[in-house]
A and B are shown apart, each in its own frame.
Chain A
Amino acid sequence: MTNQPLTLAEKVWRDHLVVKGENGAPDLLYIDLHLIHEVTSPQAFDGLRLAGRPVRRPDLTIATEDHNTPTIDIDKPIADATSRTQIEALRHNAKEFGIRIHSLGDIDQGIVHVVGPQLGLTMPGITVVCGDSHTSTHGAFGALAMGIGTSEVEHVLATQTLPLKAFKTMAINVEGTLRPGVTSKDIILAVIAKIGTGGGQGYVLEYRGSAIRSLSMEARMTICNMSIEAGARAGMVAPDETTFEYLKGRPHAPKGAEWDAAVEYWKSLPTDVGAVFDAEVFLDANTLDPFVTWGTNPGQGVSLNDSVPEIESITDPNERAAAERALEYMDLVPGTKMKDIRVDTVFLGSCTNSRIEDLRAAAAIIKGKKKADGLRMMVVPGSARVRLQAEAEGLDKVFLDFGAEWRFAGCSMCLGMNPDQLAPGERAASTSNRNFEGRQGKGARTHLVSPLVAAATAIRGTLSAPGDLDENNG
């Protein structure tokens, strides 16, 4: 035992070390929870079969169907043959290797990163991996949660461990109080705009400060979710009473004496006083506006009150070239006020913003109003349970009365692997995480926004904040 002060991430790493790497070899870390979905797993299971290897710990593994599942007519066979093949492969693999699966139509089905926390499987201080870059979501609990590739999925299935290279640590300090209409989504979009899409590369980010502490678990998940958009290995928030409160009583949360033992350990996890981060970033929550992207990577964002940037204002030649390409793709003219940009579609969903609080926040704004003429709004809950909860609260009716589509759970239009896609040239305000070229459909244009901005935009038809609404709208 040493008394050297450690960060949260370093403690989790220390407590999962199986073999310390020597002579440049990576450390071998134990993996506590392995989440699986249909897209990045079939080739991993095939690899196991070829090598004649079993799944080492089916009891630490769980599968759900989310990426290319339809969000309407879920009782009918999946129309797209390749999607159906992939789903069937997952079902077959789960059965063959003894893995728990939540299939389309199951009450615990949903986006893998919504399902894990909901079941109480995601806990502080554990290691979580999934063949999906947004695994960083689970860092909101103080877990070390990382996206991995298919070869690594196979590796974890076979060994329940992963060789991992040491990382650096970065503190993202967010102090102050968010103004009304400003959310955790705006914090993370502002952070990425500040440090860039490669700014977090090689780092595990720890979100700290009074603004983070005051956020709910769901809001923290939104922030950690997009850590990967800054290039980071993972993003974390130290566990606290908010975390314990969220977890307590969930199906897989510890109970009785085990709960007490767990909480005692969890309380030892926050970064020690005197621990040193390799880098620090500061963001003032008091002055933050709603944020929105104008370009084709999540770092190309501005305050919703600003305009599309002038190319000359960008000094880095690579960034300038990227901005020029982005503006051409997005069909935007520098100097245009962000709030003058008209959108065709509003998408409320994805592992970033599809939880019950996101749906409640958007519903509160649109309640009793009508969507803008010609605009399409699609609401896709993150899980079957979120959908049921929303329906119990009457939110489905609010969305339907507004003129929105109320769908079944899945990744949906975030990445357009299922039929939920934008048409070429269509422009969307989307609560998802990526505005890459073609992400939401070939030639589709994406502006990343918070659920509040999504709701206000759906009313006005142009990118808008709730503060822009007055009695005459709706």
Chain B
Amino acid sequence: MDKFTTFTGVAVPLKRSNVDTDQIIPAVYLKRITKTGFEDALFASWRNDPEFVLNQEVYKHGEVLIAGPDFGTGSSREHAVWALRDYGFKAVLSAKFADIFRGNAGKQGLVTGEISEEDTEKLWAAIEANPGVAITIDLVNKTATLMDIKVSFAIDEYTRWRLLEGLDDIGLTLRDEAAITEFEAKRPAWMPETLPVRTAGE
């Protein structure tokens, strides 16, 4: 995973609340077995609508999404994060993120910054007055700057540290392998085991 410190890119206003992961990527696109190439699937059911924000020339190459509250609710599909990432998004700002989505995003290097609803409105208004304007996401100082507007965003410290350092989760955990082995030695014998296979009526 690449290190993330600051990033500047085109800001895209997504003026909807409750954008669930079925909207971010419909289920039909989940059948692929690769981890990349999902850019065409992003917001697929809205992409036919010429009015949809990403269909407007000025937002086509958007890289920072500013969405309404409760972004990423619903299904746990990590494909939602891959689709945003593959399209080119590096960060999403919203007043509230669903937990699973936020967790998935952090693992793929997509920054999820929590901002107030008031700041969301402020950014939307400024972007709409200046379509195509760039926004700078500063993960070191946890700020987003768009022209003369500077807002602070919240992100949990651990995720922020990992993103800044570009660290891989599994590698981090395997540093504690001795503790895992020790824990396993103490597990009660009646805990479920899938092997050997047992089935009803035996």
CB-CB nearest in chain A for B68:
A318
Known: A51-B170, A251-B198, A416-B27. A197 touches B190 (CB 8 A): no
- Which residues of the other chain, B, contact A417 by a CB distance below 8 angstroms? 27-28, 30-31
Task: Let me know if A392 is at the binding interface, CB within 8 A.
Answer: no
Using an 8 Å CB-CB cutoff, how does the interface string of A409-451 with B read, 1 for contact, 0 for none? Answer: 0000001110000000000000000101111001000000000
Does residue A121 face the partner (Cβ distance < 8 Å to B)? yes
Within 8 A of B (CB), among A233-264: 233, 250-252, 254, 258-259, 261-262
Q: Can you list 30 A-B pairs, Cβ within 8 angstroms, ordered by A?
A: A21-B158, A28-B180, A30-B180, A30-B187, A39-B30, A42-B33, A47-B35, A51-B170, A59-B194, A86-B32, A89-B33, A121-B192, A121-B194, A123-B191, A149-B77, A149-B104, A155-B169, A155-B170, A155-B173, A159-B174, A159-B177, A198-B69, A233-B99, A250-B200, A251-B202, A252-B194, A254-B190, A297-B18, A319-B17, A325-B16
A177 CB to nearest chain B CB (Å): 33
Name the CB-closest residue of A to B75.
Answer: A133
Q: Is the CB of B74 within 8 A of A18?
A: no
Q: B170-201: which have CB < 8 Å to A?
A: 170, 172-174, 176-177, 179-180, 183-184, 187-195, 197-200
Cα A297 to Cα B23 in complex, Å, equals: 12
**Which chain B residues lie closer than 8 Å to A53 at the CB level?**
170
Contact in complex: A259, B190 (CB < 8 Å):
yes
Partner of A252, one of B33, B103, B192: B192
Task: Tell me the smallest distance from the CB of B127 to a CB of chain A, in Å.
Answer: 18
Secondary structure call for the B interface: loop
**Band of interface residues on B:** 35 or more
1-53 of chain B: CB within 8 A of chain A: 16-18, 20, 22-23, 26-28, 30-35, 45
| Chain A proximity mask over B69-103: 1 for CB below 8 Å, otherwise 0 | 11001111111010000000000000010111001
- Which 5 A-B pairs rank lowest in CB-CB distance, beginning with the nearest? A254-B190, A149-B104, A149-B78, A42-B33, A82-B31
Interchain nearest-CB distance for B140 vs A (Å):
16
Q: Contacts A155-B169, A159-B170: A262 and B76 contacting too (C-beta < 8 A)?
A: no
Given A151-B107, A202-B99: A163 and B31 interface contact (C-beta under 8 Å) = no
Q: How close is B66's CB to chain A, nearest CB, in angstroms?
A: 14
| A152 lies within 8 A of chain B by Cβ | yes
Complex: A19 Cα to B182 Cα, angstroms:
11
Are B22 and A258 closer than 8 Å at their CB atoms? no
- In whole angstroms, how far apart are the Cα atoms of A28 and B183 in the complex? 11
The reply to whether A258 and B190 contact each other, CB–CB distance below 8 Å, is yes
Measured in the bound complex, the distance between the Cα atoms of B189 and A181 in whole Å is 43
Question: B78–A251 contact, CB under 8 A?
Answer: no
- Kindly count the residue-residue contacts between A and B in the assembled complex, taking CB atoms under 8 Å apart: 217
Is A184 interfacial (CB 8 A cutoff)? Answer: no
Chain B hits for A265, CB < 8 A: 188
CB distance from A439 to the nearest CB of B (A): 5
Given the known A-B contacts A385-B200, A437-B22, are A231 and B193 also in contact in the complex, defined by CB atoms under 8 Å?
no
Name which residue of chain B comes closest to A249, CB basis: B200
Whether the Cβ atoms of B76 and A133 lie closer than 8 Å is: yes
B145 at the interface (CB under 8 A from A): no
From known contacts A158-B170, A160-B180, A417-B31, infer whether A151 and B108 are also in contact, taking CB-CB under 8 Å: yes
Q: CB distance A165 to B78 under 8 Å? A: no
Per-position contact with B for A9-44: 1 when CB-CB < 8 Å, else 0?
A: 000000000110100111010101100000110110
Q: Are A59 and B34 in contact (CB under 8 A)?
A: no
Chain B CB within 8 A of A288 CB:
no
Q: Could you tell me if B200 and A158 are in contact, using CB atoms closer than 8 angstroms?
A: no
Within the complex, which residue of B33, B68, B76 is in contact with A149, where a contact is CB–CB below 8 Å?
B76
Nearest to B15 among chain A residues (CB) is: A321
Is the pair A231, B99 in contact by a Cβ cutoff of 8 Å? Answer: yes
Is A107 in the interface zone, CB < 8 Å from B? Answer: yes
A307 interface hit (Cβ, 8 Å): no
Min CB distance A142 to B, Å, is 14
Residue pair B35, A61 in contact (C-beta under 8 Å): no
